[in-house]
Amino acid sequence: MRIVILGAPGAGKGTQCKRVVAEYGLAHLSSGDILRRERSEGTELGKEAQSYMDSGALVPDEIIVKMMASAISESVESGFVLDGFPRTVNQAQELDNSLQSSGQKIDAIINLNVDDELVSQRMTGRRSCPECGAVYHIENLKPKVEGKCDNDDADLVQRADDALDVVANRLKTYHEQTKPVVGYYKSNGTVIEIDANKDADEVTGFVLDKLEELASALK
Ligand SMILES: [Zn+2]
């Protein structure tokens, strides 16, 4: 199976990806991980990406697509789940072109739908311990004593990534750039819509049910 997982920040993509990969023995191709690996190994593409990053620019779609295409070509046998990619319609089109040239295509897109308010509540309510790294939530996972870590009594803090303005900004970028990718795939492929407003285990249940159907249809 060749799958793409899409969803807003905070929709639980990482968790669902890991579970799908474990269930079907697929390769987990995370664009963030692959970019880090290419840079640390100093490959040609890695060096090129690094030069953009050094100048504070975004790595161009062309380089990201080349990196992902190369990782995909190594995962033809196992199948794969794409995580964090494609992030724009342009990347999705480039990916399709690249797959077509090797006679492949994406089998399904899993779209994790979650309400903005819930994402915002999930993310801005997180508190973490600067001493031991434990993560709490002001409503869903409260420490025994408000504002204090259960393990070491340290004062809990909100990470910069979880601040309201940062979360609002990430949601805005998602709606502007990544949501149109869902539209692109709706006219070019199979989109499986998942209600990701539930808890993670329930969402995994929905996702695996749909993939079972897909797997038998592909046989
Ligand atoms: Zn702690």
Model's pTM, two decimal places?
0.83
- In terms of residues, how long is the chain? 219
- Give distance in angstroms: CA of 121 to centre of ligand 1: 22
Percent of the residues in the chain that have a pLDDT greater than 90, as a whole number: 66
3-state secondary structure of 66: helix
Structure tokens, 190: 């199979």
Ordered alpha helix ranges (H), 139-199: 164-173, 179-186
Please, which residues have CB within 8 angstroms of residue 116's CB and are 6 or more apart in sequence? 8, 171
Task: List, for residues 156-210, the tens digit of each pLDDT value.
Answer: 999 888 899 989 988 998 898 888 999 999 987 789 999 999 988 999 999 999 9
Phi/psi region, residue 147 (left: phi>0; alpha: psi -120 to 50; beta: rest), is left
**Per-residue pLDDT for 40 more than 80?**
yes
Residue with tokens 């050094």: 54
Alpha-carbon dihedral angle through residues 18, 23, 29, 33, given to the nearest 10 degrees: 30
Phi/psi region, residue 7 (left: phi>0; alpha: psi -120 to 50; beta: rest), is left
Residues annotated catalytic, as ranges: 13, 87, 126, 159, 170
Task: List, for residues 47-97, the tens digit of each pLDDT value.
Answer: 999 998 888 888 888 899 999 999 998 888 889 999 989 989 999 999 999
- Provide the residue ranges of all domains of the chain, joining segments of one domain with +: 2-115+177-218
Structure tokens, 76: 């033809």
CB 27 within 8 A of CB 78: yes
Preceding amide of 180 cis, omega within 30:
no
- Give distance in angstroms: CA of 142 to centre of ligand 1: 13
Among candidate residues 25, 188, 158, 179, the one with its CA nearest the CA of residue 95: 188
Q: In this structure, which amino acid lies at residue 152?
A: D
- Give distance in angstroms: CA of 127 to centre of ligand 1: 11
- Give distance in angstroms: CA of 132 to centre of ligand 1: 4
Residue with tokens 């494609």: 86
Q: Domain 2-115+177-218, what fold? A: Rossmann fold (3.40.50)
Write down the mean pLDDT value for the chain: 91
